[in-house]
Amino acid sequence: MSLKLLWFVSSQSNLGFLHHGNRSLPCPNLLFQHRAGKGQNQRWKPHFCSLRTHVPGSEGLRRSKVKVTVMSTMAATSSAGEIAMSSEEKVYNVVLKQAALVNKQLRSPRVDVVVPGDLSLLNEAYDRCGEICAEYAKTFYLGTLLMTPERRRAIWAIYVWCRRTDELVDGPNAPHITPTALDRWEARLEDLFNGRPFDMLDAALANTVNKFPVNIQPFKDMIEGMRMDLRKSRYKNFDELYLYCYYVAGTVGLMSVPVMGIAPESLASTESVYNAALALGIANQLTNILRDVGEDAQRGRIYLPQDELAQEGLSDEDIFSGKVTDKWRNFMKKQIKRARMLFHEAEKGVKELNASSRWPVSASLMLYKQILDEIEANDYNNFTKRAYVSKAKKLIALPVAYVRSLVAPSTSRSSHRN
């Protein structure tokens, strides 16, 4: 017998997973067992029910009645009769943990960061992080200049750590990186979270996590994404790809929101803002994947759901041959639609951020969305043509993003979620 766990999208939760602590809510209407004999069709219909949700110990995540709609199904089969947790559910547990940390503002006592020399060395470390951000993420860097100095420097420190982590598997030394090297990098991460930075760039991040309610788990998860890159070059379905996208990009949103801050006047739940940040990171990574299909294929990698390729009559050989066909266009249209849906979810959370943080996030979102437009303009040829946003379009996008960043946060708890 195959047990299917239904994925729900709630009108009061962007991700729609319904939990009680670390367990699924024990609502009999939420879990279905379906037996089907050979040759019988399995059909699921949209289902509605009311239930009460509450995450113990998380202030702001309040008990409420929720109308739930079944949007899709995820197969979860276990020979032991246990329910296998989907990638989205695993990620959502991290979201809940970070949201609770911010809501309660309870942080573990941290050892003061020990920096050789005086405060000028720490300032120098932050300045160096800013230089790296300006060199490799020019548009985003300009946006950070609108933030308060403390927030700006913290975002630079997070950006640099993420870049250094990514360079381990994508940089010039990538061929020599082993799982053991990533284990050492993770041990170094734990040291800096405990106030023992290894170098000046680590010192900037150690100081940042000492000031803001940042949880270590998203950082560890990003390193796990690097491990995945070392051992995996194919993804059976979107559930597997979703987890990879969370590891390498969705984590960035969870790292950044505690620093960027939620607007004091916002009445949106902390959880919903983190959900939006997560959606933005995953949408960005999906866009990267769709833009770089040809480049990844040259390295023997295919970051596309294998089952969805098969549904369109496509295989690895079609990717490696690099020919744009009607089958490929149909496949790409569906992938782009998925990415745009995630961008749409992300947009709902931007206006809930602290006013000084909205512009860089809004600009990044707009520019990444335009990459999808460029893929379409190239007739879905992402094998030999690289989709990019021209400087002229970037210049136009920046003031538009700024105007959008002026939109006030939601004034009611329901306005963000509906």
Are 387 and 336 within 8 A, CB to CB?
Answer: no
CA geometry: angle 368, 396, 129, nearest 5 deg: 60
Query: Nearest Cα to 271, choosing from 130, 144, 94, 151?
Result: 94
Which of helix, strand or coil describes residue 367? helix
Q: What is the mean pLDDT of the chain?
A: 78
- Is the pLDDT assigned to residue 407 strictly greater than 60? yes
Mean pLDDT value of segment 37-45? 39
pLDDT digits (tens, 9 = 90+) for 338-358: 999 999 999 999 999 998 899
Number of C-beta neighbours around residue 385 at 10 A? 16
pLDDT digits (tens, 9 = 90+) for 113-148: 444 445 788 999 999 999 999 999 887 888 888 889
pLDDT digits (tens, 9 = 90+) for 362-385: 988 999 999 999 999 999 999 999
Q: What pLDDT does 107 receive?
A: 45
Residue type, 213: P
pLDDT digits (tens, 9 = 90+) for 210-254: 999 999 999 999 999 999 999 999 999 999 999 999 999 999 999
Give the lowest-confidence range in 8-17, 273-282, 330-339.
8-17
Number of C-beta neighbours around residue 118 at 10 A? 8
- Is the pLDDT assigned to residue 278 strictly greater than 50? yes
Strands 31-33 and 3-10: antiparallel
Number of C-beta neighbours around residue 4 at 10 A? 17
Between 31 and 85, residue with greater pLDDT? 85
Mean pLDDT value of segment 297-320? 96
Which string of DSSP letters, residue by residue, matches 40-70? ----------EEEE--TT-TTS--EEEEEEE
The confidence band for 408, taking pLDDT boundaries of 50, 70 and 90, is confident
Percent of the chain with pLDDT over 70: 73
Q: What pLDDT does 403 receive?
A: 86
The confidence band for 98, taking pLDDT boundaries of 50, 70 and 90, is low
Q: What pLDDT does 394 receive?
A: 86
The confidence band for 80, taking pLDDT boundaries of 50, 70 and 90, is very low
DSSP designation for 116? S
- Is the pLDDT assigned to residue 65 strictly greater than 60? no
Strands 50-53 and 23-24: unpaired
Which residues face 316 on adjacent strands?
none
| Token code pair at residue 112 | 């003061």
- Is the pLDDT assigned to residue 93 strictly greater than 60? yes
Rounded Cα gap, residues 346 and 283, in angstroms = 8
Rounded Cα gap, residues 73 and 355, in angstroms = 38
- Residue reference for tokens 């949700």: 53
Between 248 and 398, residue with greater pLDDT? 248
Strands 23-24 and 19-20: antiparallel
Are 163 and 136 within 8 A, CB to CB?
Answer: yes
Q: What pLDDT does 34 receive?
A: 35
User: Helix, strand, coil proportions of the chain in percent (round to 5)?
Assistant: 55, 10, 35
Are 353 and 407 within 8 A, CB to CB?
Answer: no
- Residue reference for tokens 């030394």: 173
The confidence band for 5, taking pLDDT boundaries of 50, 70 and 90, is very low
Q: What is the arrangement of strands in the sheet containing 31-33, beginning at the earlier edge strand?
A: 31-33, 3-10, 64-75, 50-53
- Is the pLDDT assigned to residue 101 strictly greater than 70? no
Pick among 1.10.3720.10, 3.40.50.300, 3.40.50.720, 1.10.600.10: CATH of 97-406: 1.10.600.10
Query: Nearest Cα to 95, choosing from 253, 286, 228, 244?
Result: 253
Sign of CA dihedral 103, 256, 161, 163: positive
The confidence band for 13, taking pLDDT boundaries of 50, 70 and 90, is very low
- Is the pLDDT assigned to residue 208 strictly greater than 80? yes
Alpha helices in 215-260 (DSSP H): 217-231, 238-245, 251-260
| Token code pair at residue 355 | 């006013």
Mean pLDDT value of segment 72-93? 56
C-alpha R_g of the chain? 22
Q: What pLDDT does 137 receive?
A: 86
Q: What pLDDT does 342 receive?
A: 97
Q: What pLDDT does 345 receive?
A: 94
Mean pLDDT value of segment 19-27? 37
DSSP designation for 353? B
Which residues face 4 on adjacent strands?
32, 75
Q: What pLDDT does 84 receive?
A: 62
Mean pLDDT value of segment 302-324? 97
| Token code pair at residue 206 | 């150690």
- Is the pLDDT assigned to residue 188 strictly greater than 90? yes
- The predicted model scores a pTM of 0.75
Q: What pLDDT does 130 receive?
A: 95
Rounded Cα gap, residues 171 and 349, in angstroms = 32
| Token code pair at residue 261 | 């801050």
